[in-house]
Amino acid sequence: MEWSAVDHQLPIVETGASQGLGTRASAPSLTLHWANESATQTFAQALAQQPQLGNAFITLRGDLGAGKTTLTRYLLQALGVTGRIKSPTYTIVETYETDRCAVSHFDFYRFNDPQEWEDAGFRDIFASPGLKLAEWPQKAAGLLPVADLDIHLETDADGVRRVTLNAHTPVGEELLQGLTPSGEGAKP
């Protein structure tokens, strides 16, 4: 299923509560199917319009090649970042300043021990205002704060991405609400 190019409505496949993520017994969730890369871009543009995004913590989960960095790149572009947007696979964090907020994009893939997060001094970045995006958050398990929104990307054999969004905080719930067809963020 592809997003409509006319109204940018999110195709809701499933909504409900999911168990076992974050600190709450259940989390509001939304599951989408993205047929192609333009659906990823359209979603990123809708997410960038959400008022709460500027101080959110979003985790991105999925196998290698699932589209975590691609989603982040489109989101940063939608926030006004120009020029080259690099994956922080080797640097661990890339920072950006936008007119709206500071953005820190983390990639914990190369972590061998969650304690590396603490040793790198990332607690200070997480304590400061701005959007935080973290790929491979499980590599820093137990040290990261609870994500406002967790995005899990899976790719099927046909290349269609199944994207599950789970909100774990009131900020995450507002982001999720803004991405549903009845929310304000569903249209440009």
Helix (H) or strand (E) holding 37: helix 37-48
Residue 50 burial class via C-beta count within 10 angstroms: exposed 0-12, middle 13-18, buried 19 and up: buried
pLDDT of residue 175: 96
List, for residues 55-83, the tens digit of each pLDDT value.
999 999 999 888 899 999 999 999 999 88
- Does position 88 have pLDDT exceeding 80, yes or no? no
The correct CATH number of 14-186 out of 3.40.50.2000, 3.40.50.300, 3.40.640.10, 1.10.10.10 is 3.40.50.300
Helix (H) or strand (E) holding 170: helix 170-178
How far apart (Å, rounded) are the C-alpha atoms in residues 86 and 88? 6
Query: How is residue 139 written in tokens?
Result: 């590599």
- Does position 131 have pLDDT exceeding 80, yes or no? yes
- What is the DSSP annotation of 45-60? HHHHT-GGGGG-EEEE
Amino acid identity of residue 54, one-letter, is G
How far apart (Å, rounded) are the C-alpha atoms in residues 59 and 184? 23
- Long-range CB contact pairs, 173-177, < 8 A, 24+: 173/28, 174/50, 174/51, 174/52, 175/47, 175/50, 175/52, 175/53, 175/56, 175/148, 175/149, 176/28, 176/29, 176/30, 176/149
Strand ranges (E), 7-155: 14-18, 27-34, 57-61, 93-97, 102-107, 131-135, 149-155
List, for residues 137-187, the tens digit of each pLDDT value.
998 888 889 999 999 999 988 888 999 999 999 999 999 999 886 544 433
Sign of CA dihedral 183, 53, 117, 90: positive
Radius of gyration from C-alpha coordinates of the chain:
15
Query: How is residue 185 written in tokens?
Result: 């963020």
| Single pTM value for the model | 0.80
